[in-house]
Structure 1
Amino acid sequence: MKIGISGASGQLGKSVLSHLTRRGGNHQLVGVSRSPQTVAAPAEGRFGDFDRIDSLVQAYAGLDRLLVIPSAELAPGVRSAQLRAAIDAASQAGVPHVFLMSVAGTHEASVPSLGEAFWVGEQALIRSALQWTILRMNYYAQSMADEIKMSLGGGVLAGLGDERVAYVSRDDIAAAAAGALLGDGHSGAIYNLTGPASITGAERASIVSEIVGKPVSYVTITVDQLRAGLSQAGLPAPVLDAMTDIKTSFVEGKFDIVTGDVARLSGLRSKSLREILAAALA
């Protein structure tokens, strides 16, 4: 079986390929990227650009299974166009089974919502793929760790409300994706890849306080206050808009879902936010 990872040069793509390699077997691996030279052996590197559908058709040729990992593009409408192109290219290349990395809480949305791209991608996949599987990620625990590092100096973590989120390790997502790609019986399934518990903002602050050994509090702020703080930090407008969208999704409950899908697909226990933060803040 020949398995392709589209978006292979990103952190998640590299991790999926690493898990597939460690699992062994007779399968062949293909890493599709705008920088195919960065794809590590034994995987074959192929050039593929989400903005050039012809390159994707060539890169996906001969694959039995394909995982499409969305790009990090934040400009409104760009990522959804890229996902439509990738899924169309997979159909043109005759890929029998396409897996899509999506996000928790995906529902009908329009530009400029970040969720628009994932809604468009999921719908395009369901309509056109011969066989399809959707892997919806919860929020990266590592991304929250990075945010916490920037806030530790003031001893305060801020959010827009309770922010119940089942933070999940990037490596656990990769392990689950590898398990799904190698397994059978996943056609037509939508999985939610989550951590073992949904953590509130206050609980997050308590965990951090225990790890660093000093008081850390949690405060609720307004959207305007959030945007002002991000702007003062010098973040560009697209990142500012994305962070506001994400934080709003937290309080809307889109990431407040806990499943056993990581263990079900990978055979491994999903790591807790405490474990990730303990390693990151050590």
Structure 2
Amino acid sequence: MIIGVGGASGNLGQAVLRELQARAGGHKVIAISRTPETAPAGVEGRLGDYDKPETLAEAYAGLDRLLLIPTSDMRPGVRGDQNIAGIRGAVAAGVKHVVLISAAGTRQQEEPAIGASYWRGEQELIRTAPKWTVLRMNYYAESLIDEVQMSAAQGALAGIAENRVAFVSRDDIAAAAAGLLIGDGHVGAIYNATGSRTYTGAERAALISEITGKPLGYITVPAEALRAGMIQAGLPDFVANAVISIQSNFADGALDIVTGDIEKLGGRPPKDLRDVLAAALKPAA
């Protein structure tokens, strides 16, 4: 079986490649990205750029299964167009089974809501791919780490409401994706890759305080005030809008979901959030 990974040069793509190399006995793995020269040893690199659909026919040629990892581009409409391009390119190239990375809580939304691009991709996939699977991921634990590091000076994490999120590590999503790609019985399924429990804002702040030994609280602020603060800090409008959209999803409970899909697909339970945070934030002894 020939397995392609689109978006292979990103952090998640690289993690998926590592998992496939460790698992995929007898399968050929293709790394597809704008920088095919970054493919690891033993993996064929192919040029494939969602922004240049003409590159995708050759990139996807001969693939039995293809994982499409969306970009992190937050400009309104861009990621949605990229998702459509990737899916249409896969269908035109005759890829037998297409797997799309999506997001927990995906539902019909309009731009600039961050979920709009995932909804467009899922709908295009379901309508057109001969065989398909969707892997919706909860919020990255690694993104929480980034948030902590940016919030340290203020002494508090901020959100527009109290909320619950089942943070999941990038490596666990990669394990689930790799297991799905080499396994069978997943056609037409929508999975949710989550951590083993949800954390409120106060709970995650307390956990971080315990790990770092520094006080950290959790505060709720109006959405417009949070947005204004980001604009004042120099962030572009579309980035501020994306953050508010993510926070709205948190507040709506879209990421308050726990499943066993990581273990089912990846063959191991998800990492505990405490362990992921401690590896990055614990002071040196």
**Residue type at the aligned position of 2:223:** V
C-alpha distance in structure 2 between counterparts of 1:73 and 1:213, whole Å: 35
Counterpart of 2:2 in structure 1 is: 2
Q: Structure 2: which 5+ runs fail to align?
A: none
Where 2:253 maps in the other structure, the secondary structure is coil
- Whether 1:96 and 2:59 are equivalent positions in the alignment is no
C-alpha distance in structure 2 between counterparts of 1:252 and 1:84, whole Å: 27
The 8 Å contact of residues 109 and 119 in structure 2, kept in 1 or not, is answered as yes
Counterpart of 2:264 in structure 1 is: 264
Counterpart of 1:178 in structure 2 is: 178
C-alpha distance in structure 2 between counterparts of 1:166 and 1:193, whole Å: 9
**Residue type at the aligned position of 1:26:** G
**Residue type at the aligned position of 1:225:** A
The 8 Å contact of residues 112 and 242 in structure 2, kept in 1 or not, is answered as no
Counterpart of 2:244 in structure 1 is: 244
What do the CA deviations read for 1:185-228 (whole angstroms, capped 9, x no partner)?
00000000000111100101110111122332211111122112
**Residue type at the aligned position of 1:222:** P
Q: Report the aligned-residue RMSD.
A: 1.0
Where 1:154 maps in the other structure, the secondary structure is coil
The 8 Å contact of residues 138 and 168 in structure 1, kept in 2 or not, is answered as yes
Q: Shift in Å at residue 272 of structure 1?
A: 2.0
Q: Structure 1: which 5+ runs fail to align?
A: none
Counterpart of 1:127 in structure 2 is: 127
Counterpart of 1:109 in structure 2 is: 109
The 8 Å contact of residues 165 and 198 in structure 1, kept in 2 or not, is answered as yes
Q: Shift in Å at residue 111 of structure 1?
A: 1.5
What do the CA deviations read for 1:262-282 (whole angstroms, capped 9, x no partner)?
010011110122111111112
Counterpart of 2:233 in structure 1 is: 233
Q: Shift in Å at residue 236 of structure 1?
A: 2.0
Q: Shift in Å at residue 261 of structure 1?
A: 0.2
Counterpart of 2:197 in structure 1 is: 197
- Whether 1:209 and 2:209 are equivalent positions in the alignment is yes
TM-score, length of structure 2 as denominator length: 0.96
Counterpart of 2:158 in structure 1 is: 158
Q: Kindly tell me the number of residue pairs found equivalent between the two proteins.
A: 282
C-alpha distance in structure 2 between counterparts of 1:212 and 1:84, whole Å: 42
**Residue type at the aligned position of 1:32:** I
C-alpha distance in structure 1 between counterparts of 2:24 and 2:108, whole Å: 39
TM-score, length of structure 1 as denominator length: 0.97
The 8 Å contact of residues 167 and 272 in structure 1, kept in 2 or not, is answered as no
Quickly say closer, same or farther: Cα 1:265–1:237, change in 2 above 3 A: same
Q: How is 1:29-108 mapped onto 2 (pairs within 5 angstroms)? A: 29-108=29-108
The 8 Å contact of residues 112 and 241 in structure 2, kept in 1 or not, is answered as no
C-alpha distance in structure 1 between counterparts of 2:227 and 2:264, whole Å: 39
C-alpha distance in structure 1 between counterparts of 2:136 and 2:24, whole Å: 25
Q: Shift in Å at residue 74 of structure 1?
A: 1.3
- Runs (4 or more) in structure 1 with deviation over 4 Å come to none
